[in-house]
Amino acid sequence: MAATLIIEHEIDPWPARVGRELVTLKLSDAAGRAVSGARVKLESDMAHPGMKPEFGDTSEVGPGRYQGRLAFTMAGDWVMLVHITLPGGQSLERQLEVKGVRAN
């Protein structure tokens, strides 16, 4: 399976606000081919320790396109963890920064 996995992400609305935001991820391999059939779970963690992380599932809405909702429970800097299990069973995790989540 893909030795290099390219992950593009989009959060709607942007800049992210406090609440359950729509997260779209696009997975592709080094050749730019969409990676379908993966299991993708989301996790949001506050930059400060001791805060409750939030979790979200995604579903594949198009070839290599995964969508799900993820909660940001307070304003500030967050880190989004993307837990991916590829069709071949290989698991990996990516850490994406979501800076400056705004209060409503």
Partner 1 sequence: MFAQTKEFPSAPVESPPFDLLRVPVIGRLLGWRHARTALQIPALIAGIAMIAHGLFGPTLAPKNLATTVSWVHFRGALVLVLLCAGNLFCLACPFMLVRQWARRWFHPWLTWPRALRNKWLSAGLFALILFAYELFDLWSSPWWTAWLIVAYFASVLAIDGIFKHAVFCKWVCPIGQFNFVASALSPLEVKVREEGVCVTCHTKDCIRGRRDASGLVTIQRGCELALFQPAKVGNMDCTFCLECVQACPHDNVGILSRPPASELMTDPIRSGIGYFSRRPDLAALTLVFTFGALLNAFGMVSPIYALESWMARLMHVSHEAPVLGTIFIVSLVVEPVLLLGLAAWLTQVWGGSRRAMLPLIVRYAYGLVPMGFGMWLAHYSFHFLTGMLTLVPVVQNAVSPLLGEPLWRWTGLPTRVVQPLEFGFLALGLMGSLMVTHRLAVDEEGGHPSRAFVPWAAVCLLLFAASVWLILQPMEMRATFMG
Sign of CA dihedral 68, 72, 77, 82: negative
Where do we find the tokens 């081919």? 33
List the one residue from 47, 62, 63, 87 that touches partner 1 (CB under 8 A): 47
Binding mask 79-98 for partner 1 (x = CB under 8 A): x-x-------------x---
Q: How far is the CB of 94 from partner 1 (least distance, A)?
A: 12
Please, which residue, 7 or 79, has the CB nearer to partner 1? 79
Q: Which amino acid is at 83?
A: H
What is the pairing mode between strands 54-62 and 39-46? antiparallel
Count of residues that bind partner 1 according to CB under 8 A:
21
